[in-house]
A and B are shown apart, each in its own frame.
Chain A
Amino acid sequence: MSSTRAESLGRDQRDLNAYHDGELSGLRRRLFERRLSRSPRLQAELEALKRVSECVQQLGPQLARVDVWDEIALRLPAIDAQRQPRADPQAWRGLDWLADYSRPIAAIAVATALALALFLGIMDDGAPANPGMIRWLDTGGRSVMVLEDPAGATIVWLLDAPEDGASEGESREAV
C-alpha cells in the first residue's frame, strides 16, 4: 500500500511541475485539473511553486550581472592564499588496502619528489620572468597606469581624480 501511495505522490509531483510549466496538454491536463480542484494539498503546492517561481524571476536581473563573477574571481587568489589546507581523515576510510603497498608507494613518492626537485632545480634560472605581479586592483573608478621595470620595480600611477558617485562595486579593474 505504502509503495502505491508513494508512486501516486510522485506522479502528482511530476504532473504538478508539468502543469505549472505549461507542459500538460489535452486529456492529461483536464484530468490533472480535476484532481487539483479536489485536492487542497495540490492547490497549496501549486501556490508554493508559483511563489518560488516569482522569487526566482525577481532575482533574475541580479544573476545576469556580468561583472559578479569577475569581482569574485579577482579576489580568489588572495582568499586562497589565506586559506590553510586541512587534512580530512574521512577521506582515508576504505583505503586500508593501501597499507599493504605502503613501502613501494613510499619509494615511488620519494623517487618522484627527488626527480621533481632536480627538474625544478634545473629549470629554475633564479630570476622570475615577472618579478612583481598585481593580483587585484581597485582604484575607485580612476584610470591607472601600471609600469613594470625589469630591474625590480613596479609603478602604479593613478591618472585622474575619482569620478563623483563612483561606487566601489563599479570600479574594479584587473591588471
Chain B
Amino acid sequence: MKRFSFGLWVAIVSGVLFAGNPAWSQAERRFSVKVTVAEISDSAGKIDPRAARLDRNLRQKFKYNSLKVIEERRLQLGLDEVGSVALPGGRMFRVQPLDVGERGLLMAVGWEGEVMMDMRAPSNHLLVIGGPAHGDGQLVVSIEPHYPSD
C-alpha cells in the first residue's frame, strides 16, 4: 500500500479546516448595508415607493397614512468599520459590522440617546428601529445588510 507523506496529510487537514472556517479572509470582506431614514405619520400623504419593503412590514403591525423617506444611503463597510447616516435633529445613526458567520452578520447599530444594539442578521434581513417622535409622526430607520454568502 502506498504511503502518504506527512506534508500531504497536513495539506488535506488544513484544506478541510480552512474550508469550514474561512476566518482568515473575513477581515477583507465588504458588506453593503442599506440604511433608510423615514417618517411615518397619520397625516394624509403618500407611501414613498423607495420604502416599499419597509412599508409592507410596518403596515402589518402599525397604522399610518403616509411614509416619507428622509434619507437613503447604501454603505460599503468592512468588519469593524463604522458607517454613519445623519438623522433629523443633528444626531448620527451608526452601523458597525462586527462579525460574520453562518447565522448572519453581527452588527452594532443605533444612535446615542435613543437606542444602541448588537444584532445578528442574515443577508437581506430587514431590521427596523422606530418609535421616536419626529414632526407630527414617528421616526423609522431600516437597516438591510447585503453580502454574498460563503
B115 touching A144, Cβ below 8 Å: yes
Residues of B with C-beta under 8 A to A156: 115, 117, 127-130
* Interface: A153 (CB within 8 A): yes
B126 touching A154, Cβ below 8 Å: yes
Number of interface residues of A (CB under 8 A): 41
Number of interface residues of B (CB under 8 A): 42
Tell which of B4, B17, B61, B113 touches A155, judged by Cβ atoms closer than 8 Å. Answer: B61
* Interface: A158 (CB within 8 A): yes
B120 touching A162, Cβ below 8 Å: no
**A114, A142, A156, most chain B CB atoms within 10 A:** A156
Q: Is the interface of A mostly helix, strand, loop or mixed?
A: mixed
Q: Which of B30-38, B69-77, B99-107 contacts A (4 or more CB under 8 A)?
A: B99-107
A106 touching B13, Cβ below 8 Å: yes
Q: Mark A149-162, 1 if CB is under 8 A from B, else 0.
A: 10111111111011
* Interface: B119 (CB within 8 A): yes
* Interface: B47 (CB within 8 A): no
Residues of A with C-beta under 8 A to B128: 153-156
Pick 14 A–B contacts, CB within 8 A, sort by A: A107-B9, A109-B13, A128-B103, A132-B121, A134-B119, A135-B120, A137-B115, A138-B110, A151-B57, A152-B122, A153-B57, A158-B115, A158-B132, A161-B133
